[in-house]
Structure 1
Amino acid sequence: MSKKKKYPKGVRPRRKAIEIGFPFDGEWCRETIKLPPTPANIKYAERRRGEILMRIGRGVFDYAKEFPDSVRAITLGQTCPTTIADLLNAYIKRTRNALAYSTWVDYKNSINNHLIPAFGDYRVGDLKVSHLRDWIMASVASNKRINNVLTPLRTVMVEALLDELIEFNPFDKLPGLSRMRGTTKTAYEVDPLSPDEVAKVLAVMGPQIQNLFQFAFWSGLRTGELIALQWRDIDWDRGMVRVRKSSTRKKIKAPKTNAGLRDVKLLTPAREALTAQKAHTFLQGECVFMNPRTGEPWLHDGQIRKTAWQPAVRKARIRYRNPYQTRHTYASTLLSAGEDPMWVAQQMGHRDWGVIRSVYGRWIPEARPDAGNKAEALFVVPKDKKEGTEQ
């Protein structure tokens, strides 16, 4: 007895044609492809079905366009999303597991709070360059922030062009933000603490909080990396901290870039902070830094800022900056001491030293009162000057 021939899922021969089936709008739909059921045509039907499923998943399937002679197409009518809101909602739904959770949340917030209110009611083909330009020019956000917010919209418009839902993508004709708005400064400022300020704020902190921030000032770790740091990540013999994880939105995950995976040298003040912290959390064997009020791991950076950093800054009576400035203080301290910028970039988890050059490329007088002395030492007094001869 011969075995029954198997066909790809949703594909089967129908006399001198091929039938494909797929779920759509809560129903199982069947359509006929008028090709003889040869092995090559069966493969073609499988690929076409896959493309249909992909467009359905992306929310851009046009039944009438795909099967113009189908009775079902007449019944369902034009099912392709017709508004920007439809495309954005379909996009955020299908990317839930494809994007990093923190990225997905950022995109979702951009879609719900900015993009749909501004552009959601426009039909896909009606979005114009002027709509985008007017919104951009009215925004008070930085160019970087605007680009981040527009990312989901830019993505769905590229997809709409590829799916032939629109004849052109308005983003293709949109001038660069710097050209439209000029160079805009972000509200965030790199504002490191001076050595005197570091000493003052550490002096008013309790033991565990002091250990946390002394380590932060002398390791340059991001707040999320400090929260995720475990004792197993400390290589005492090599004098290194293995940064492999970060806490973002209460989730522990790997850093966004390969450069973020790094070994940071344990400078003496950082090592001393870890040694002091051993008495508090080492025997528990997991998180290095924990909330001394609860005895539990820190939940997020906001908890550290509100319960540990802000009270200490007020008590120390120094000018307020956010706790991320500990990282900027680390970078500025190393650079002002003359450390190699390439090495500093590696320690901080940057791909190259471009960020170091653009953000930290200045000396801090409080840290280096002798800045410039090395350059002065290279100055050679002209021979005539030594002899006291005037020119």
Structure 2
Amino acid sequence: MGREGNGVRQVSNTSIQIEFLYRGERCRERIRFNPSTTPIDVALKKAELHRVAITHAIAAGTFDYAVTFPGSKQFQKIETSSDLTVDQWLKTCLDEKEAHLKSSSFDSYVKYTKQLTAAFGHIKLADLRKEHVRDWCKSKKASNKTISNIISPLRSALQSACELDLIPINPLANFKFKRTEAPSEDKELDPFTVEEESLILANCSGHIHNFIQFAFWTGMRTSEMVALTWEDIDFKGMRIHIKRAKTQKATIAETTKTYSGKRIVRLLGPAHDALVEQRKLSGPKGIIFLNPYDDRPWKGDQPIRRAFILICRDAEVRYRRPYQTRHTFASRMLSAGESLRWLSHHLGHSTITQTEKAYAKYIEGTHPDAGEKGVDLFKGT
């Protein structure tokens, strides 16, 4: 750090650096000297005495940084960071994020930032501690996953502040909040039965019928389906090229939800039949699935949900959101004995583990002939 660890060291032929702690920050300032008139040993000794005077003044509360080191950039940064609130810094980070996040992700970022601002916005950035966040987490009636999602923008903002030397450390660098939760009751996973699918399809027609049948037999995300174009369909090879997605908040189609979401999947028979019928309605070019009320591309999943509510009511089927068609497809494929690896790729999951965890109860013991293939193959050995 310096001359035998005393906080001073020569950094050039004409300057010596002094290091000291001020307001919890490690500060480094340079003192100039003329080597032709002041030997280095003398200059270093003077620097040591100057540093001692500084540390004494800091301890006594009489140190005036601006007077001692006029024009210091480090002091300006310390002054800025000492007055900067969490609210101000979160807003700064939010502005920077807008250009780099997808519309749906930015919308979530804004929502979480509002909650963080309400909880911690009044606290100075340099004063925020892990205990503040932990106490807030304990007070929230939300799942561990939801809390983790909310905290994520704050952790990221604090890391940026740390990298810019606005704060010495990120108080949430290794912070994880996890309360004991009751076992999951599969609230999210609620597939339709074969009978329910038949009733639903019998109570709709045209654009909506083709859309729902395609959803049941591809397992594609709603956001992927509304962005699908005829150029993405390979009828000869019976394949679908999934490249884009359009969420409720997006004005245009964007890249898929994840890198693994961009994929090529098989076009199965019932899905193929739905496309054949749909081409008669929307034509052979452009967006495949259109809103029948205005013959324009769907603007997101909200109008689809509203239409689906009415269809389920007419079919006398308990309503679940259209996304459950994806779970219906996955659960059926696994119950039929299809490969977990194949399904994971088809759904656009990042790992097989993700697929296995979501649909574990459909993997073993659900197929009526489970085990028979092994018996037939090896019973004579």
TM-score (norm 2): 0.74
* Structure 1 residue corresponding to 2:107, chosen from 77, 99, 105: 105
Counterparts of 1:368 and 1:104, CA distance in 2: 41
For residues 247 and 182 of structure 1, do their structure 2 counterparts lie closer, same or farther at Cα, with a shift above 3 Å needed?
Answer: same
TM-score by length of 1: 0.73
Question: Which position in structure 2 is the counterpart of 1:343?
Answer: 342
Q: Deviations over 1:298-338 (max 9, x none)?
A: 111011001x2111111111122111000011111111111
2:88 corresponds to which residue?
86
User: What is the aligned residue count?
Assistant: 317
Deviations 1:83-142 (A, max 9, x none): 111110111112221233322221122112x10000100111222222111211121222
SS across alignment from 2:282: helix
1:389 is matched with which residue?
A: none
Distance 2:233 2:286 in 1: 11
Find the counterpart in structure 2 of residue 189 from structure 1. 188
1:372 deviation in Å?
3.4
Partner of 1:239: 238
Counterpart in 1 of 2:354?
Answer: 355
Deviation at 1:182, TM superposition (A): 4.5
How far, CA to CA, are the matches of 2:199 and 2:120 in structure 1? 50
Aligned-pair identity in percent equals: 32
Q: Note the alpha carbon deviations across 1:256-291, whole angstroms, 9 max, x for none.
A: 3221111111110000000111110024x1111101
Kindly indicate whether the alpha-carbon contact (under 8 Å) linking 2:201 and 2:209 is maintained by their aligned counterparts in 1: yes
Aligned to 1:50: none
Deviation track 1:316-374 (CA, whole Å, cap 9, x = no partner) reads 11122111000011111111111110001111111221122111122399x96725353
Shift of 1:168: 3.6
* Residue in structure 2 matched with residue 370 of structure 1 by the alignment: 368
Residue 296 of structure 2 aligns to which amino acid in structure 1? Answer: E
**Native 8 Å contact 2:228 2:288 kept in 1:** yes
1:362 to 1:160, Cα distance in 2 relative to 1, 3 A: same
Q: Which runs of 5+ in 2 are unaligned?
A: 1-13, 15-30, 34-64
How far off is 1:376 after superposition? 8.9
Aligned partners of 2:131 and 2:76: how far apart in 1? 37
Give the aligned CA root-mean-square deviation in angstroms. Answer: 3.4
1:288 equivalent in structure 2: 288
Aligned counterparts of 1:273 and 1:90: Cα–Cα separation in 2: 48
In the alignment, which residue of structure 1 is the partner of 2:280?
279
Cα distance in 1, alignment partners of residues 244 and 320 from structure 2: 25
* Equivalent residues of 2:226, 2:300 under 8 A apart: yes
- Describe the shift of the 1:75–1:228 C-alpha distance in structure 2 as closer, same or farther (beyond 3 A): closer
Cα distance, 1:98–1:76 mapped onto 2, change above 3 Å: closer
Q: How does 1:130-141 map to 2 (within 5 A)?
A: 130-141=131-142
Could you say which residue in structure 2 is the equivalent of 1:300?
A: 300
Q: How do residues 122-271 of structure 1 correspond to structure 2 at under 5 angstroms? A: 122-172=123-173, 174=175, 176-178=176-178, 180-182=179-181, 185=184, 188-248=187-247, 249-250=249-250, 251-271=252-272
Structure 2 Cα separation of the partners of residues 165 and 185 of structure 1: 41
Q: Sort the Cα spacing of 1:277 and 1:379 in 2 relative to 1 into closer, same or farther, 3 A.
A: closer
Secondary structure (helix, strand or coil) at the match of 1:278 reads helix
Give the corresponding residue for 2:17. none
**Counterpart of 1:170 in 2: which secondary structure?**
coil
Q: Deviations over 1:215-268 (max 9, x none)?
A: 000011100111001111110110011111100223311113221111111110
Is this contact kept in 1: 2:337–2:363, CA < 8 A?
no
Contiguous gaps of at least 5 residues in structure 1: 1-15, 17-32, 36-63, 382-391
Query: Offset at 1:183?
Result: 6.5
User: Which shifted more, 155-164 or 242-251?
Assistant: 155-164
Specify whether residues 138 and 162 from structure 1 end up closer, same or farther in structure 2 by C-alpha distance, changes over 3 A only. same
Q: In the aligned structure 2, how far is the partner of 1:224 from the partner of 1:70?
A: 54
Between the aligned partners of 2:320 and 2:211, the Cα distance in structure 1 is 17
**1:177 CA drift (Å):** 2.6
- The DSSP-based 3-state class of the residue aligned with 2:265 is strand
Seen in structure 2, the aligned counterparts of structure 1 residues 376 and 238 have a Cα distance that, compared at 3 Å, is: closer
- Look up the SS of the partner of 2:253 in the other structure: strand
* CA contact 1:262–1:349 (8 Å) conserved in 2: yes
Distance (whole Å) between structure 2 residues aligned to residue 74 and residue 229 of structure 1: 55
